[in-house]
Amino acid sequence: MIRILLLMAIICCCVFTHAYAQNQAPEQFDYSAFEKIPVLDNGRVKPIGAFAKARLKDFYGKDYKATQWLAQTLFNPSEAIHAEVFTIKDDDLKSRLALDPSKDHFSIEDLQPGLKKTQSDIIVLLKETETNLTPQQQTLLKIHEDVISYNELLRSFSLILPLKDGETFINLLPKEQRITSDLKTIIAQKGQDVTTYTPAEQETAIMGFQLQQIRTGGIGNDDFKAIPVNLDEKLSWASPWQTINDGLGSPQANTLLSQWEDVANAHRKNDAQNWTAATHTLLENTLQNTSNEISKTRLNVELLYLNIKPYHVAMSLYALGIILLIITLSRPSIFITYGTLVSLFTACLFHVSGIAARIYILDRPPVGTLYESVLFVSLICAVIGLITYAKSRKPILALTSQIAALGLLSIAPTMLQNNDSLELLVAVLNTNFWLGTHVICITAGYGICIIGACLAHGYMLLRIKDPVHPLLDGAFQSIHKIGLVALLFTAVGTVLGGIWADQSWGRFWGWDPKENGALLIVLWLIWIQHGRLSGNIRPLGYVAGMAALNIVVALAWFGVNLLGVGLHSYGFTSGIAAGLAIFCIAETIIITALWIIIRIKQKQQGRTS
């Protein structure tokens, strides 16, 4: 027993140390203020740390030390071009882009020559629809897009970064016209050959060329919107270049730009002390310029959410809880029971905190996207499993529920449409009332169905192991009760969806795939309930029917999105078809096999008795 508890303690320590270590990696600079500076990205104001993570994940596939990477990219572009942040694993593509086949990560400098050669192909590929492209063509397109985006980031602050003699573009701006006209005069007098110029003329030519290059690079550079500007008493956001090119500048914006310059200089000079002071000043001033419309707490919560990774911690603890529950099945012990409860409770706490943080950050109910629905359904499974275990101490329902919770949480990232999991919603979904009623009701229904289905699997397995196991009768009653509650939630959720459709599209029911999917679950539940009532379905068949709910829910939840038709276009997904097919086939085989084995055993017992 002591050994088991020690093992538990070690696993817990590992989990927390991992989460802690990620946040406290020793760095020369203190990034705590810098990563909180708000920026507008994809329609939402977020901390720089979140922006950095999303971008680095786009390029590299991982977001480790993203803030440091972004600071380097923004303030030291000449060094950042050597950073190997682009991931290419396809060998054919590597050879096409003349890249080193032994490497998977490349810098923008490595990529530029190869990409230039494929430019003509890109024009053709851009005209094709995404579904007609091969995976390699898709990767090539993505690399081109990533490089454009990275280039834009590299030049975000080119107007305040020092040129020769510490001068910056923005300081030279008043002299720009004069330099350009001087250069024109020199060219008119001496032609294009620089060697014929005097040293002073060469200086002017270099300066003029640099200014022209910087200005060209700044055209359309609007990705990094870090300057709050007030337009018609409405808070808006501009990139540094937009303050000059689009006339969005103001005295406040100029002050902020000069503070950004201080931050850049501190970073370039490796001056940690000035960096800390400059980033703090910049953060405070940026927030002040938003007229306190942006909540500092919200920025902090978002960073904490992204850094702690609460679902990773929850997954580790669910796994620990599952191991302990399996041990309890064969060797019940009060210590293990308490260990399980602590582990599951802590897991649920992290899981709930994650979802609560999302509600706070996005200011809307917890479920609006497919990813969020998976997080929520997983939580429903975990919480119900935990509550029933805390009340009854019977491990079977808790075990099957936690397995479902862990499974769902592990597939959640595959549902993300992009690398920012905190997505905005399309207009029709932008209603807290319906997200808080229909969506919560139907997703809770999915969760309860999955709990019932997993418990039915557990029941069948237990019945094979021991046909007169004392837990069987209680498990059957639980399956029946869960079936009824699942029917309540899915039926009410489905008709509430109809009422929402009536409110937004003018018809209650339109036989749209998503609506039909929800109805399918309701019909399945009604069918097995009435089959059981009329005696057409025997208890074992009823349990198998409940177990098959997993398939029905998977089809209704994810399957219909793959059809790509109907009014619920915001839910369309791709790339999960193979996984879904494997799951449905595997489940069908498992349930059929379990049913056959139980029937064979039943017959054998009948003959023996």
Partner 1 sequence: MMKRIKSISTRLAEADMVFWLMPLLIVLLIVGTVTQRWIGLYAAHHTYFSSFIIWLGPIPLPGGYTILGLLTLNLTAKFLFKSEWSAKKSGIILAHLGALILLIGGLVTSIMAEERYMVLPEGAQSPFIYHYTKRNLMVFQSNGEDDSQPTEIMRLPYSNIDNWNTDSLPFQFNLKFSCDNCNIIKREESSDYDENKTYAGMAQFMALENKPLEKEPEANLTGFEFTIFGADEGDGEHLAFDGMPKPIEIKSLGKTYTFIFGKDQSTLPFSIKLKDFVKDNYQGTAMARGYHSDVVIMDGDTHWETRIEMNKPLRYKGHTFFQSSFDQSEAGEVSIFSVVKNQGWLFPYIGTIVLALGLILHIIITFSRRRTQ
Q: Point out which residues bind partner 1 (CB under 8 A).
A: 40-44, 222, 225, 236-237, 424, 426-428, 430-431, 434, 477, 481, 484-485, 487-488, 491-492, 495-496, 498-500, 502-513, 516-517, 519-520, 523-524, 526-527, 530-531, 533-537, 560, 563-566
State the minimum distance, in angstroms, from the CB of residue 514 to partner 1: 9
CB of 347 to partner 1, least distance (A): 27
Nearer to partner 1, 326 or 533 (CB): 533
Nearer to partner 1 among residue 304 and residue 577 (C-beta): 577
Give min distance, CB of 485 to partner 1, in A.
6
d(CA 190, CA 556): 75
Residue 165 CB contacts under 8 Å (≥ 6 apart), including other chains: none
Q: How far apart are the first and last CA of the chain?
A: 41
DSSP designation for 363: T
* Shortest spacing between CB 232 and partner 1, in angstroms: 14
Q: Which is nearer to partner 1, 405 or 551 (CB)?
A: 551
Angstrom distance (rounded) from CA 338 to CA 369: 36
CB of 498 to partner 1, least distance (A): 6
Of 49 and 559, CB closest to partner 1? 559
Smallest distance from partner 1 to CB 151, Å: 19
Half-sphere exposure of 230 (CA within 13 A, CB side): 11
Tell me the two tokens of residue 405. Answer: 């919770």
Q: Do 293 and 40 form a contact (C-beta atoms < 8 A)? A: no
Residue closer to partner 1, measured from CB, 321 or 497: 497
Token pair listed for 205: 């030519």
What whole-number distance in Å separates Cα of residue 398 and Cα of residue 385? 4
CB of 551 to partner 1, least distance (A): 12
Between 1 and 231, CB nearer to partner 1: 231
DSSP 408-451: HHHHGGGG-SSS-SS----GGG--HHHIIIIIHHHHHHHHHHHH
Q: Which is nearer to partner 1, 287 or 491 (CB)?
A: 491
Give one DSSP letter per residue of 70-138, joined into a string: HHHHHH-HHHHTT---EE---HHHHHHTT--TT-SEE-HHHHHHHHHHTHHHHHHHHHS-GGGS-HHHH
Residue 321 CB, nearest approach to partner 1 (Å): 26
Which tokens is 84 given? 């190997």
Closer by beta carbon to partner 1, 65 or else 393: 393
CA 398/CA 400 separation, integer angstroms: 6
User: Please, what is the minimum distance in Å from the beta carbon of residue 494 to partner 1?
Assistant: 9
- What's the CA gap between 278 and 269, in Å, rounded? 13
Whether the Cβ atoms of residue 180 and residue 211 lie closer than 8 Å to each other: yes
Angle at CA 445, nearest 5°, toward 444 and 447?
65
CB nearer to partner 1: give 179 or 537: 537
Closest approach of partner 1 to the CB of residue 572, in Å: 12
How far apart (Å, rounded) are the C-alpha atoms in residues 474 and 391? 14
Q: State how far the Cα of 352 lies from the Cα of 415, in Å rounded to an integer.
A: 19
* DSSP β-bridge partners for residue 86: 106
Handedness of CA 136, 139, 145, 148 (dihedral sign): negative
Nearer to partner 1 (CB atom), residue 5 or residue 565: 565
Q: Which residue lies nearer to partner 1 by CB, 399 or 552?
A: 552
| Shortest Cβ 260–partner 1 spacing (Å) | 19
